[in-house]
């Protein structure tokens, strides 16, 4: 089959991308001290108009933006309605309405009735090739989401041929996807132009200097307290835990790398997890956020490869990795890859990472150079496997990190495809490891399909519990007061690194813009930003250039960023697991952190009871008003609001006391997509 990825480089013109910072710059001068949405969005609306002009100059289709209806009334999720009013007043033809659209989309109003949002845009059905591509390869660039995806097109414009993405409408934040995806469906040669444009982004190479590779994460004052956490391992013939890394009898190079990384002693999940993996057992491990799960699987896997005389990786047209590691988000898999690179330093083992939003050609070339440990997001992984560049027959280890997240997003079929299709060895012939801080019971049952029946279940602390090193505060704040409250908190926090979680991508952009206007150096990360922008945002946050990061659920899990002192849930997530992961971005590795969550009784009642439980389990103060809400929240229980049962233990224990775990293999389909899953599959 002819490959097209080789032709990627240099063939596609670079789009003009108004980055968040460019746009922030363009909006200035900012009126000092403006908290008023009018001032903020006025300038942005103007810029959007200008940007829109540039778009329309490119494609000559500015007429496509007129005629959006007025918004329905309703909530704005913390953003007052004045701002959209300002947008409507923008005098530039066509584009004022565009900004209005997106401001309305920003709140929940869009869904309720202003006539845009879901639906067919410009005559494109939902099942456009673009959607298919996004789903199949998992790395659909923002273009699809903006221009063609069913999620947020301009529903009222049948056949208007405008081709503008929501990002244009958003005042130029995020990507310029609309520019790169005109709506005319075929080019002069009759080729379908609705295919996703090729992504040409090549991430910067990882650091080569040892000091950067091994830059240690400072452990905190509570690191030793990890030893006090109760650990439960269920299943048969449980290998003994180790107390020190030396007891694991790892090879010399690995031991050297462990000490270069500054690891003095193993955390509980490592003490128990390392020997379990070394013993060849399948493992489902649940341990609190930031407690070292990554090393708990990487170290024994690398050791096993070394013991097994893994072949030195070299260039081959078909690579056959011994290890496949899958994680739900691009940033997380990249982080795991960097950890794998760190621990395999000085060995012949070569880890490679593949993830969406980057040039497939580049990543395939990386894979072909040699690949023992293939780290990937599911979509890109399947994509590269389907191109025949990766064979799975030699896979000895399959790791699913944040396994519950990967299985609970309605993409179970993709996971099954990976696990059962192609030449992946059967579960009897590979070791399967699943890690997360949360494992709802249904997910455990489904996961059992992927693992040998005698897998071990390791629970460090309470399954699904919040990290005890995070001081949690819940404030009752209605949506219209959220912005002011946030400003008040950030003013007190100063330049300490803070992650602010919101429930939609649009809100992430708007809030980040707002905070910039308020002179808080802020950046944002969400699924509609181009990968280059996402990585830049994380880099700016890590370095402290932008101490505030506004994020959607895409950054809720796994990200390990030093010095994050605060997490603010501007919007509470719809599930308690997501809450636990979000606040786990702080208080990592024995450090203490603070989490403040805005509870709006109009929208957050469904999480009240589980929140009370998580707070009290972590010995945090539970506000009386929250207890009252929890008590009154009829119909909810100490369950996931979407119906999933929280597991406090290995779900096999619940089988009428049946200790014969091996006889149990249930398979309950679970699909749900809450609001916090909008950034879902990567
Ligand atoms: N034994 C150890 N000694 C010192 N630091 C460690 C040790 N184990 C892990 N760390 C560091 O602790 C940090 C958190 O580890 P890691 O990211 O693996 O946590 P996690 O349990 O996977 O968290 P999450 O649930 O959020 O994904 C990392 O920076 C890691 O390098």
Please state, in angstroms and as integers, the Cα–Cα distance from residue 445 to each residue in 150, 259, 378, 403, following that order: 32, 38, 21, 12
For the segment 322-375, what is each residue's pLDDT rounded down to a tens digit? Answer: 999 999 999 999 999 999 999 999 999 999 999 999 999 999 999 999 999 999
Residue 680, by phi and psi: left (phi above 0), alpha (psi -120 to 50) or beta? alpha
Residue 403 is predicted with a pLDDT of 80
What is the position in ligand 1's atom list of the atom closest to the CA of 560? 17
At residue 319 the predicted structure's pLDDT band, cuts being 50, 70 and 90, is very high
Cα separation, 239 vs 569, in Å, equals 40
Label the pairing between strands 283-286 and 431-436: parallel
**Residue nearest to ligand 1 atom 22, measured at CA:** 293
Report CA-CA distances (Å) from 660 to 213, 238, 450, 454, 456. Answer: 45, 14, 18, 9, 13
> Is residue 489 within 8 Å of 570, Cβ to Cβ?
no
User: Which has the higher per-residue pLDDT, 270 or 88?
Assistant: 270
Q: Whose CA is nearest to atom 25 of ligand 1?
A: 289
Calculate mean pLDDT across residues 648-652. 64
Q: Which run of H or of E encompasses 681?
A: none
User: Is the Cβ–Cβ distance between 90 and 52 less than 8 Å?
Assistant: no
Look up tokens 């059967």; give the residue.
426
Report whether residue 584 contacts ligand 1, using a CB cutoff of 6 Å.
yes
Of the listed ranges 293-302, 333-342, 499-508, 671-680, the least confidently predicted one is 671-680
Nearest CA to ligand 1 atom 10: 292
| Residue 567 near ligand 1, beta carbon < 6 Å | no
User: What is the reported pTM?
Assistant: 0.72
> C-alpha dihedral over 435, 436, 440, 445, to 10 degrees?
-10
User: Sorting pLDDT into bands at 50, 70 and 90, what band is 409?
Assistant: low
Position in ligand 1 atom list of the atom nearest CA 581: 26
The answer to whether residues 662 and 427 touch, using CB atoms and an 8 Å cutoff, is: no
Cα separation, 131 vs 2, whole angstroms? 23
Length of the chain: 682
Determine if ligand 1 sits within 6 Å of the CB of residue 580: no
For residue 471, with 0-12 CB atoms within 10 Å meaning exposed, 13-18 middle and 19 or more buried, which class applies? middle
Per the CB < 8 A criterion, the answer to whether 45 and 96 are in contact is: yes
Give me ligand 1 centre to Cα 265, in Å.
12
Residue 134 has which token pair? 């996004």
Query: Domains along the chain?
Result: 210-460 (3.40.50.300), 470-633 (3.40.50.300)
Please, are residues 42 and 96 in contact by the beta-carbon 8 Å criterion?
no
pLDDT, one tens digit per residue, over 592-634 is 999 999 999 999 999 999 999 999 999 999 999 999 999 887 5
Would you place residue 641 in the very low, low, confident or very high pLDDT band (cuts 50, 70, 90)? very low
Please compute Rg for the chain using Cα positions: 25
- Maximal CA-CA distance, the chain: 73
How far is the CA of 412 from the CAs of 481, 610, 675, in angstroms?
39, 25, 18
CA angle centred on 279, ends 438 and 323, rounded to 5°: 65
Name beta bridge partners: 458: 233, 285
User: d(Cα 553, Cα 576) in Å, to the nearest integer?
Assistant: 13
Rounded mean pLDDT of 125-130?
30
- Judged against a pLDDT cut of 60, whether residue 157 lies above it is answered with no
Tokens of 394: 């030699």
- Kindly report the average pLDDT of the chain as a whole number: 71
pLDDT at 424: 94
Ligand 1 neighbourhood includes 290 CB (under 6 angstroms): yes
Q: What ligand 1 atom has the least distance to the C-alpha of 289?
A: 25
Q: Which residues of 418-434 are buried (b: 16+ CB within 10 A; e: fewer)?
A: bbeebebeebeebbbbb
Q: What is the pLDDT of residues 235-275, one digit of tens each?
A: 999 999 999 999 999 999 999 999 999 999 999 999 999 99
d(CA 535, CA 533): 5
Tell how far the Cα of 292 is from the centroid of ligand 1, in angstroms: 3
């Amino acid at each position: 089959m002819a490959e097209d990825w080789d032709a990627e480089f240099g063939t596609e013109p670079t789009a003009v991308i108004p980055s968040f910072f460019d746009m922030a710059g363009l909006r200035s001068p900012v009126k000092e001290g403006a908290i008023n949405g009018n001032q903020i969005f006025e300038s942005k609306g103007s810029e959007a108009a200008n940007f829109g002009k540039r778009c329309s100059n490119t494609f000559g289709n500015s007429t496509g933006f007129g005629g959006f209806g007025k918004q329905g009334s309703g909530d704005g999720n913390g953003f007052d309605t004045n701002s959209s009013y300002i947008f409507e007043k923008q005098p530039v033809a066509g584009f004022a309405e565009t900004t209005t659209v997106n401001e309305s989309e920003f709140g929940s109003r869009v869904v309720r009735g202003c006539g845009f949002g879901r639906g067919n845009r410009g005559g494109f059905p939902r099942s456009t090739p673009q959607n298919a591509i996004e789903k199949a390869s998992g790395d659909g660039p923002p273009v699809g989401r903006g221009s063609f995806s069913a999620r947020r097109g301009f529903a009222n414009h049948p056949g208007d041929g405008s081709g503008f993405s929501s990002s244009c409408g958003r005042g130029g934040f995020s990507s310029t996807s609309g520019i790169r995806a005109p709506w005319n469906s075929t080019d002069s040669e009759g080729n379908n132009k609705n295919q996703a444009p090729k992504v040409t982004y090549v991430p910067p190479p990882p650091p080569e200097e040892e000091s950067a590779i091994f830059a240690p994460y400072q452990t905190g004052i509570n690191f030793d307290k990890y030893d006090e956490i109760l650990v439960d391992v269920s299943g048969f013939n449980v290998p003994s835990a180790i107390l020190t890394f030396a007891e694991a009898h790892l090879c010399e190079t690995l031991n050297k790398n462990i000490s270069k990384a500054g690891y003095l002693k193993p955390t509980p999940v490592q003490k128990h997890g390392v020997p379990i993996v070394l013993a060849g057992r399948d493992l489902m491990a649940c341990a609190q956020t930031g407690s070292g799960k990554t090393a708990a699987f990487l170290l024994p896997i690398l050791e096993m490869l070394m013991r097994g005389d893994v072949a030195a990786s070299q260039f081959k047209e078909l690579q056959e990795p011994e290890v496949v590691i899958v994680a739900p988000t691009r940033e997380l898999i990249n982080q795991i890859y960097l950890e794998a690179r760190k621990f395999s330093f000085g060995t012949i083992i070569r880890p490679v990472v593949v993830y969406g939003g980057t040039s497939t050609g580049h990543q395939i070339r990386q894979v072909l150079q040699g690949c023992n440990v293939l780290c990937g997001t599911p979509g890109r992984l399947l994509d590269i496997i389907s191109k025949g560049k990766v064979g799975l027959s030699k896979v000895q280890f399959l790791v699913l990190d944040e396994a519950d997240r990967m299985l609970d997003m309605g993409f179970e079929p993709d996971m099954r495809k990976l696990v059962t299709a192609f030449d992946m060895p059967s579960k009897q012939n590979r070791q399967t490891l699943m890690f997360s801080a949360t494992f709802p019971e249904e997910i455990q049952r489904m996961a059992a399909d992927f693992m040998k029946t005698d897998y071990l279940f390791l629970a460090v602390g309470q399954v699904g519990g919040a990290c005890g090193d995070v001081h949690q505060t819940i404030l009752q704040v209605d949506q219209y007061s959220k912005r002011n409250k946030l400003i008040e908190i950030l003013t007190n926090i100063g330049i300490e690194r803070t992650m602010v979680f919101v429930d939609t991508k649009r809100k992430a952009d708007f809030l980040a813009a707002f905070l910039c206007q308020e002179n808080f150096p802020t950046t944002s990360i969400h699924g509609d930003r181009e990968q280059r922008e996402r990585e830049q945002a994380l880099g700016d946050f890590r370095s402290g250039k932008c101490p505030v990061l506004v994020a959607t659920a895409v950054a809720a899990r796994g990200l390990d960023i030093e010095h994050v002192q605060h997490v603010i849930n501007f919007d509470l997530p719809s599930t308690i697991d997501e809450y636990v992961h979000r606040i786990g971005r702080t208080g990592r590795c024995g450090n203490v952190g603070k989490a403040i969550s805005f509870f709006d009784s109009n929208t957050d009642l469904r999480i009240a009871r589980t929140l009370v439980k998580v707070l009290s389990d972590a010995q945090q103060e539970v506000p009386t008003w929250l207890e009252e809400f929890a008590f009154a929240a009829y119909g909810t229980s100490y369950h996931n609001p979407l119906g999933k049962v929280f597991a406090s233990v290995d779900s096999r224990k619940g089988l009428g006391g049946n200790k014969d775990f091996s006889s149990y293999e249930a398979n309950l389909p679970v699909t749900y997509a809450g609001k916090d899953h909008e950034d879902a599959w990567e």
